[in-house]
Amino acid sequence: MSDCLFCKIAAGEIPSNKIYEDELCYAFYDIDPQAPVHFLVIPKAHIQSVSAIDEGNCAVVGHIFQVIAKLTKELGLESYRVVSNIGEQAGQSVLHLHFHVLSGRDMTWPPG
């Protein structure tokens, strides 16, 4: 999608602090970290949010979780939280599917 920030980051058109990339997904550190470790994993294909996942595009979600398991192991993270915000009330500010991975501090439940 031409006017999407995360499409541009995944394409390398906007700089990011990249951790990992393959043909399907891209991982990079959040510009405004909410924990000592805070990175995002996104599909390279534009999907607006979890609510736009369907039979035709869901394979990338399993792949992303496999990548999250691999990256967190490599970073030595034993405990972490994976979050995806959907829609305005939940706090989604970028309309391209992304999974936050947060680690390195105590976390409360329920989340605010």
103 binds ligand AMP (CB under 6 A): no
Tell me which of 38, 96, 98, 100 is the catalytic residue: 98
Nearest to 80 by CA among 65, 91, 90: 65
- Which listed residue (23, 31, 36, 106) binds ligand AMP by CB under 6 A? 31
Q: Would you count residue 7 as binding Zn ion (CB under 5 A)?
A: yes
Q: How would DSSP label each residue in 15-77?
A: ---EEEE-SSEEEEE-SS-SSSEEEEEEESS---SGGG--TTTTHHHHHHHHHHHHHHHHTT-
Q: Answer yes or no: 46 catalytic.
A: no
Within a 10 A sphere around the Cβ of 99, how many other Cβ atoms? Answer: 21
Compute the distance between CA of residue 34 and CA of residue 46 in angstroms, rounded to an integer: 25
- Among the residue ranges 26-34, 52-60, 61-69, 72-80, the one whose residues contact ligand AMP (CB under 6 A): 26-34
| Contact pick of 18, 19, 20, 46 for Zn ion (by CB under 5 A) | 46
Choose the one of ligand AMP, Zn ion, none that binds residue 99, judging by a C-beta under 5 to 8 angstroms depending on kind.
none
Q: Interface residues with Zn ion (CB under 5 A)?
A: 1, 4, 6-7, 46, 96
